[in-house]
């Protein structure tokens, strides 16, 4: 049985007007010495692609997908069939999932875990037959009402224990599926009001759960990279994993910084008041750029709209950071993106993925040219050249005292600065995009 009424999507080049064709993403085209598909490592998200049907706080579902059946196991299996058909037709080499996206919860934890065993066996068969792989798995510790006050940061120790058990199983399933990473998005790890919150205990508990998870992964030989996904708000007013710098401070305090990298989501960056590039850059210079949740927000709205990425400028600067990072290693670009409520056909879903993949392919190509031509590197190196000799070199080498700096400043009253040339650089980037 087929779920999608279109053929395999082909690359037709930038002159094509076919909405069901790639214009920029040509998976085997070599950029900076390796094929596009290896730079981008695209992944389909199980939740927004197969389990999201257009409901919002003001109204119900608008999408009726043919893989939704009356029975939970039949639905779970049909989702696997539909998901693998979709990935094959789009040429998407990876997927990522929450435990609860794969199959709904049973009557208790034991039954839920048994259901996960059944569905992960079925997924494994499909993986073997198609060569499609798992980029990452995660546990959904936020939907169920037991997580009303958080999971690891809940005021209720029974909830902490339940979350730990759920994460233990999710790590086991991710290992079974050969997942290359495991993600922690702190769904409800935050607070609504300080009037009822012990932030110190909550943060200690949060770090302890992460440590237990890492210890367990080591114990069972799960080699995937652990990733934390920062987000500043929504659902809670204050999420503890606010942004990359906040998470870095937290990891360093609890001595977890060697074991975790970050999964950076574009829309979470903008919710934190940063650009996507800022978050990638701060992760890169700290050696924790692990993977990317590729989406975009609506700049006029203050919530996580999770839209498919179509902004070439943002994608270019994101890929520039990825290139400067030497790639994403075990990470990739997963589409944590959902089609708009009004885009309710299956074809809209395919067109959205094509647009997202083309956007990042174009971004990769432009970023590669910028990088090869050293456009920004040469400008930035010259801008900071005062640190290459004289007093600047002594500052860089940390070989100077306040007294020496004062003596230097007293003898150097005429300071000359140079223009930062922001507009010139922006216009050069535009020219690279136009080409
Ligand atoms: C929600 C997050 C979520 C994580 C995985 O805003 O983006 O989808 O990626 O739990
Ligand atoms: Ca999100
Ligand atoms: Ca995400």
Summarize pLDDT for 58-116 with one digit per residue, the tens.
999 999 999 999 999 999 999 999 999 999 999 999 999 999 999 999 999 999 999 99
Residue 391: per-residue pLDDT:
97
Q: How far is the CA of 11 from the centre of ligand 3 (A)?
A: 28
Q: Could you tell me which of 232, 251, 306, 314 has the C-alpha nearest to residue 280?
A: 314
Q: Omega before 235 cis (within 30°)?
A: yes
Contacts of 239 (CB under 8 A, 6+ apart): 186, 189, 190, 231, 232, 233
Residue 110: per-residue pLDDT:
98
Exposed/middle/buried for residue 329 (C-beta within 10 Å: 0-12, 13-18, 19+): middle
Residue 232: per-residue pLDDT:
98
Percentage with pLDDT > 90 across the chain:
99
Residue 200: per-residue pLDDT:
98
**Cα separation of 121 and 76, whole Å?**
12
Residue 413: per-residue pLDDT:
83
Q: Dig out the tokens for 68 from the structure.
A: 């939704």
Q: What's the predicted TM-score (pTM) here?
A: 0.97
Percentage with pLDDT > 70 across the chain:
100
| Position in ligand 1 atom list of the atom nearest CA 47 | 8
294 alpha carbon, closest ligand: 3
> Which DSSP string corresponds to 362-395?
HHHHHHHHHHHTTHHHHHHHHHTGGGSSHHHHHH
Nearest CA residue ID for atom 2, ligand 1: 185
pLDDT band at 362 (very low <50, low <70, confident <90, very high): very high
What is the per-residue pLDDT across 14-26, written as a single tens digit (0 to 9) for each?
999 999 999 999 9
**Cα separation of 48 and 170, whole Å?**
19
| Position in ligand 1 atom list of the atom nearest CA 263 | 9
Nearest CA residue ID for atom 10, ligand 1: 185
| Position in ligand 1 atom list of the atom nearest CA 142 | 10
Nearest CA residue ID for atom 3, ligand 1: 185
**Protein residues with CB under 6 Å of any ligand 1 atom:** 98, 138, 183, 185, 229, 231, 265, 293, 304, 336
**Cα separation of 79 and 69, whole Å?**
9
What is the per-residue pLDDT across 392-425, written as a single tens digit (0 to 9) for each?
999 999 999 999 999 999 999 899 999 999 999 9
pLDDT above 90 (res 1): no
Residue 389: per-residue pLDDT:
97
Provide mean pLDDT across the span 307-332: 98
Let me know: does 164 contact 202? Beta carbons within 8 Å: no
Strand ranges (E), 180-314: 181-184, 190-191, 225-228, 238-239, 260-265, 289-293
Residues acting as catalytic residues: 98, 101
Residue 435: per-residue pLDDT:
87
Q: How far is the CA of 17 from the centre of ligand 1 (A)?
A: 33
What is the per-residue pLDDT across 249-268, written as a single tens digit (0 to 9) for each?
999 999 999 999 999 999 99
CA-to-CA separations, 123 to 78, 120, 132, 371, in angstroms, rounded: 11, 5, 10, 39
Q: How far is the CA of 335 from the centre of ligand 2 (A)?
A: 10
Q: Dig out the tokens for 391 from the structure.
A: 């007093």
- Asked whether the CA dihedral 158, 114, 87, 67 is positive or negative, the reply is negative
Beta bridge partners of 260: 226
Place of tokens 């590669």: 368
Around 137, how many Cα atoms within 13 Å sit in the side-chain half-sphere? 27
Please choose from 45, 229, 269, 292 the residue to mutate so as to test ligand 1's pocket, defined by most ligand atoms within 8 A of CB. 229
pLDDT band at 317 (very low <50, low <70, confident <90, very high): very high
| 421 φ/ψ angles, rounded to the nearest 5 degrees | 50, 40
Q: Spell out a b/e string for 310-327, using b for 16 or more CB atoms within 10 Å of the CB, else e.
A: ebbebbbbbbbbbbbbeb
Nearest CA residue ID for atom 5, ligand 1: 185
| Position in ligand 1 atom list of the atom nearest CA 234 | 6
Nearest CA residue ID for atom 7, ligand 1: 336
Provide mean pLDDT across the span 194-210: 98
Stated as kind and residue range, the H or E segment containing 127 is helix 109-130
Provide mean pLDDT across the span 325-330: 98
């Amino acid at each position: 049985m087929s779920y999608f009424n279109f053929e395999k999507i082909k690359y037709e080049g930038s002159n094509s007007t076919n909405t069901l064709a790639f214009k920029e993403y040509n998976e085997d085209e070599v950029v900076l010495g390796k094929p596009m598909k290896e730079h981008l490592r695209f992944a389909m998200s199980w939740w927004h692609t197969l389990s999201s049907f257009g409901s919002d706080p003001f109204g119900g579902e608008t999408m009726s997908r043919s893989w939704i059946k009356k029975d939970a196991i039949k639905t779970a299996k049909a989702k696997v069939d539909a998901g693998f058909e979709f990935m094959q037709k789009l040429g998407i080499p990876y997927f990522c999932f929450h435990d609860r996206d794969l199959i709904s919860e049973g009557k208790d934890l034991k039954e839920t875990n048994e259901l996960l065993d059944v569905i992960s066996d079925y997924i494994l068969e499909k993986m073997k037959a198609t060569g499609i792989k798992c980029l990452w798995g995660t546990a959904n510790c936020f939907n169920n009402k037991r997580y009303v006050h958080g999971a690891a940061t809940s005021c209720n120790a029974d909830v902490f224990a339940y979350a730990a058990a759920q994460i233990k199983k999710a790590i086991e399933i991710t290992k079974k599926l050969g997942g290359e990473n495991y993600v922690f998005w702190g769904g409800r790890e935050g607070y609504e009001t300080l009037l009822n919150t012990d932030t110190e205990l909550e943060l200690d508990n949060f770090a302890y759960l992460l440590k237990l998870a890492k210890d367990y992964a080591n114990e069972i030989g799960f080699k995937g990279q652990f990733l934390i996904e920062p987000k500043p708000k929504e659902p809670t007013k204050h999420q503890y994993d606010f942004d990359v710098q906040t998470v870095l401070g937290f990891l360093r305090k609890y001595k977890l910084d060697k074991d975790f990298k970050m999964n950076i989501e574009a829309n979470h960056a903008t919710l934190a008041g940063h650009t996507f590039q800022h978050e990638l850059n701060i992760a890169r210079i700290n050696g924790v750029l692990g993977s990317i949740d590729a989406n975009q927000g609506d700049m006029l709205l203050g919530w996580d709209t999770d839209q498919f990425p179509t902004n070439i400028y943002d994608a270019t600067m994101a890929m520039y950071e990825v290139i400067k990072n030497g790639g994403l290693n075990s990470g990739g670009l997963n589409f944590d993106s959902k089609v708009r409520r009004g885009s309710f056909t299956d074809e809209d879903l395919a067109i959205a993925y094509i647009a997202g993949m083309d956007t990042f392919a174009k971004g990769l190509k432009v970023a590669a040219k910028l990088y090869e031509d050293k456009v920004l590197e040469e400008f930035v190196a010259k801008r900071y050249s005062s640190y290459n000799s004289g007093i600047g070199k002594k500052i860089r080498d940390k070989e100077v005292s306040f007294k020496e700096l004062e003596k230097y400043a007293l003898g150097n009253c005429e300071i000359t600065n140079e223009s930062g040339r922001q507009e010139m650089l922006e216009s050069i980037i535009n020219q690279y995009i136009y080409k």
